[in-house]
Amino acid sequence: MSQTVEVRFKGTRKGFYTWSEDNLPLRVHDPVVVEADRGRDLGRVSAVGDTAAKKCASSCAGCASGADAAQPAEPPKPIVRAATPQDLRMHDEIRGSEEECRQKVIQRVRAHELLMKVSDCEWQWDRSKLTIYFTAEKRVDFRSLVRDLASLFRTRIELRQIGVRDEAARLSGVGRCGREYCCSTWLTELSPINLALAKDQHLSLNPAQISGGCGRLLCCLKYEHEFYVTARKRFPKEGKAVRTTVGVERVVAVDIFRERVFLRSDEHGSRIIPLVALQAELEILGELIPGADARSMAASAGPATAIDRPGDEPAGGAGPDGTNRRQSHRRGGDPQRRRPPSSDS
């Protein structure tokens, strides 16, 4: 029997391999020598057992949804052996020479007058292949460069174009939070990030304040976005007019952490009211959308509702006490919820 093992290499590169259970068990961070493309490579174990098997199954399922879905997935290659101290010394020597290789590649790129930025170079452990990572705004014809580099390094050359986010994940760095980049440590999948995430969280739209080291929007903008969207549903939308005990007021801003609403009216100016108190006023006046009440708001039970009513202005003939509003502004809900008749009617 053999078990699945996840092995990580330089940067964010990883692969899945098999290890016979008859051998000594492997642990996370153990160095191993594995079968690679036309040679051997050295990496460190990042997951073993069921954890690695689940990751492998998830990765294969993602690959099967692409263009090669009709082709069977290639089975994991075996781990050759655990790395020896001599293997590790050889690995360190190779890693130490990669920066010198990168400088030589940069010189050849300039000689060929190619518009590309060489980000990193990575030797395979047995020096049978040299992978060069680069970024470029457009597609680059580097066939002549490959031939030149192959004659220079006397090995197989692979040039791989990556994006700026992949470059940051590969080279790593320290973010504005003081921690190492998420994309180079634990964030395995780079999800799309757009400006709407910053707008929903009321963050500054200054690119210098919401951009990461890669020059793109921060990946962490997505971490708390769902919380903000869910919390905002309990508040009236900004810019909407609501009828309260004071009269018709417009929502200026909301504070989801302190659960306060900032209101303003021409007659009474501005005021700050707790969300629970505002919801209670709206319930008294029959303005509450069915499905939420003051008690549920206070207990924070279930998704409370946003106050988004059609029509920003009060209905004709409606006084500040909400009389004669009835269901003219009601959209769905329980038709039996009505304002109780006054005692003098």
Instruction: Give the CATH number, domain containing residue 144.
Output: 3.30.300.20
Among 251, 243, 252, 234, smallest CA distance to 320 is for 243
Task: Give me the pLDDT at residue 246, please.
Answer: 86
Asked if residue 304 lies in contact with residue 292, where contact means CB atoms within 8 angstroms, the answer is yes
- Domain-terminating residue out of 83, 117, 149: 83
Does residue 286 sit within a domain?
yes
Residues 223 and 316 in one domain: no
Residues 71 and 105 in one domain: no
Per the structure, the complete domain to which residue 282 belongs is given by: 233-339
- Name the domain count of the chain: 4
Residues 60 and 94 in one domain: no
Does residue 344 sit within a domain?
no
Residues 65 and 158 in one domain: no
Asked if residue 32 lies in contact with residue 7, where contact means CB atoms within 8 angstroms, the answer is yes
- Domain-terminating residue out of 124, 147, 162: 162
DSSP3 helix / strand / coil % (the chain, rounded to 5): 30, 25, 45
Residues 315 and 256 in one domain: yes
- Mean pLDDT, consecutive 10-residue stretches, the chain (345 aa), reads 89 89 87 90 92 81 40 75 95 94 96 95 94 93 94 94 93 92 88 92 91 93 93 90 89 92 91 91 65 39 35 36 38 44 43
Does residue 151 sit within a domain?
yes
Residues 328 and 247 in one domain: yes
Global pTM? Answer: 0.69
- Domain-terminating residue out of 122, 137, 162: 162
Strands (DSSP E) contained in the chain are 2-8, 14-20, 31-36, 39-48, 77-82, 117-123, 129-135, 156-161, 241-243, 248-255, 260-265, 269-274
Residues 190 and 255 in one domain: no
Asked if residue 175 lies in contact with residue 207, where contact means CB atoms within 8 angstroms, the answer is no
Does residue 345 sit within a domain?
no
Residues 6 and 31 in one domain: yes
Does residue 293 sit within a domain?
yes
Residues 172 and 151 in one domain: no
Task: Give me the pLDDT at residue 260, please.
Answer: 94
Task: Give me the pLDDT at residue 56, please.
Answer: 85
Does residue 140 sit within a domain?
yes
Task: Give me the pLDDT at residue 167, please.
Answer: 94
Residues 26 and 67 in one domain: yes
Task: Give me the pLDDT at residue 322, please.
Answer: 37
Does residue 261 sit within a domain?
yes
